[in-house]
Amino acid sequence: MSTALITGITGQDGYYLSKLLLEKGYTVHGTVRRSSTFNTTRIESLISEYGSQGKLQLHYSDLLDSTSLNTLISTIKPDEIYNLAAQSHVAVSFENPVFTTQTGTLGSIALLESIRTSEKNIKFYQASSSEMYGGENEVSLNEESLFDPKSPYAASKVFAHNITKIYRDSYDLFCVNGILFNHESPHRGETFVTRKISRAVGRISVGIQKKLTLGNLDASRDWGFAGDYVRGMWMMLQHDKPDDWVLATGETYTVKQYLEEAFKVVGLNWEDYVESSAKYFRPNEVNYLLGDSSKAQKELGWKPETSFNDLVKMMVESDIELAKREAVLIKEGLMKPTWENSN
């Protein structure tokens, strides 16, 4: 069976992609950085199920250390590499632009160089982002739309996207770019707005939070389910020829609409609990993103299967259960709330 290497395996997409590949019979290797905050929480269930069989293996490696990457790739000899590693929070990229840029740019080159010099023909997936477009105009965006990055994160993604195309064209490598619009899940990081909302709704519903403060409530995004999108990643590497594809739902909703749907799950009016603060606005806002995935639907046979309403409900219901457990721990004096406006 096939062997895959996933950078960023401990993130949301890393979890869903690992799960998909393992269920398809792959042997999956993942890279993790040496860190005192090393966290495998998302993939613990996969480690428990597949780790003892040797089907899921983790390796210490750093995208900024090309020597360790070369050694790892030459040792495990993967058939496919999925580059998901990044500092992926747009707001944080303004606070830490150097690290964001280094990881997003040098990491992709290091992987591509390892593939170029490898004796094996390795297929490569680069995680591009809808943030590359900038969202200046309210238009549907596809593979031919121009990039206009508005953040250090987006700029680093544009570089990685372009260098992947350059290596594909210059060295005849099987390299693809997946331009994914926003994709969420119960495993989304808690600093992302969708998860901030679902966490707050869960806590408010069980009485351990009073208010939620957010930034731009009018920002509009094309939100899909991460589980659907990693299936598209895999499909790209199974295609006859390497290319670039947009994955999106073709629908866009504002943060206000997300709030309305999320609070509706627990029978509450979001306006009674949510405030907007300028301190949470980005230095350079992306106001509107809407994707056109017709090329992926036609050439790959991919389409999103999870509706916006089902996605929001899935996230809120998951975080209600988490909030219930937190409420018990607080009551027993085993946990102290660290979130805003806690009761």
In tens, the pLDDT along 56-104 reads 999 988 888 888 889 999 999 999 999 998 776 676 777 778 878 887 8
Catalytically annotated residue among 131, 184, 261, 326: 131
Q: Give the residue among 167, 146, 154 at the shortest CA–CA distance from 127.
A: 154
How many Å separate Cα 307 from the centre of its chain? Answer: 18
Please answer whether residues 177 and 128 qualify as being in contact, where contact means their C-beta atoms are separated by less than 8 angstroms: yes
* pLDDT confidence of residue 33: 78
From the CA atom positions of the chain, what is the Rg in Å? 20
Q: Give the residue among 170, 153, 161, 146 at the shortest CA–CA distance from 109.
A: 161
Please answer whether residues 92 and 100 qualify as being in contact, where contact means their C-beta atoms are separated by less than 8 angstroms: yes
153 annotated active-site: yes
Domains 3-184+223-247 and 193-220+252-288+307-331 fall in the same CATH topology: no
* pLDDT confidence of residue 40: 85
User: What's the CATH class of domain 193-220+252-288+307-331?
Assistant: alpha beta
User: What's the CATH class of domain 3-184+223-247?
Assistant: alpha beta
170 annotated active-site: no
Quote the tokens at residue 128: 């591009």
129 annotated active-site: yes
Counts of helices then strands in the chain (DSSP H, E): 11, 13
Please answer whether residues 229 and 300 qualify as being in contact, where contact means their C-beta atoms are separated by less than 8 angstroms: no
* pLDDT confidence of residue 88: 64
Please answer whether residues 178 and 124 qualify as being in contact, where contact means their C-beta atoms are separated by less than 8 angstroms: no
Catalytically annotated residue among 129, 156, 205, 220: 129
End-to-end CA distance of the chain: 52
Torsion 116-31-245-17 (CA) sign: positive
| H-helix or E-strand spanning residue 125 | strand 123-129
Helix, strand, coil shares of the chain, percent, nearest 5, are: 45, 15, 35
The full length of the chain comes to 343
* pLDDT confidence of residue 36: 41
Please answer whether residues 63 and 8 qualify as being in contact, where contact means their C-beta atoms are separated by less than 8 angstroms: no
Query: Looking up tokens 């990457």, which residue turns up?
Result: 69
Catalytically annotated residue among 16, 125, 133, 153: 153
Cα–Cα distance for residue pair 12/8, rounded to 1 Å: 9
Low-confidence stretches of the chain (pLDDT < 70) are 35-38, 88-89, 91, 343
Burial class (CB in 10 A: 0-12, 13-18, 19+), 1: exposed
* pLDDT confidence of residue 329: 96
106 backbone dihedrals φ, ψ, rounded to 5°:
-65, -35
Q: Where are the domains of the chain?
A: 3-184+223-247, 193-220+252-288+307-331
* pLDDT confidence of residue 68: 86
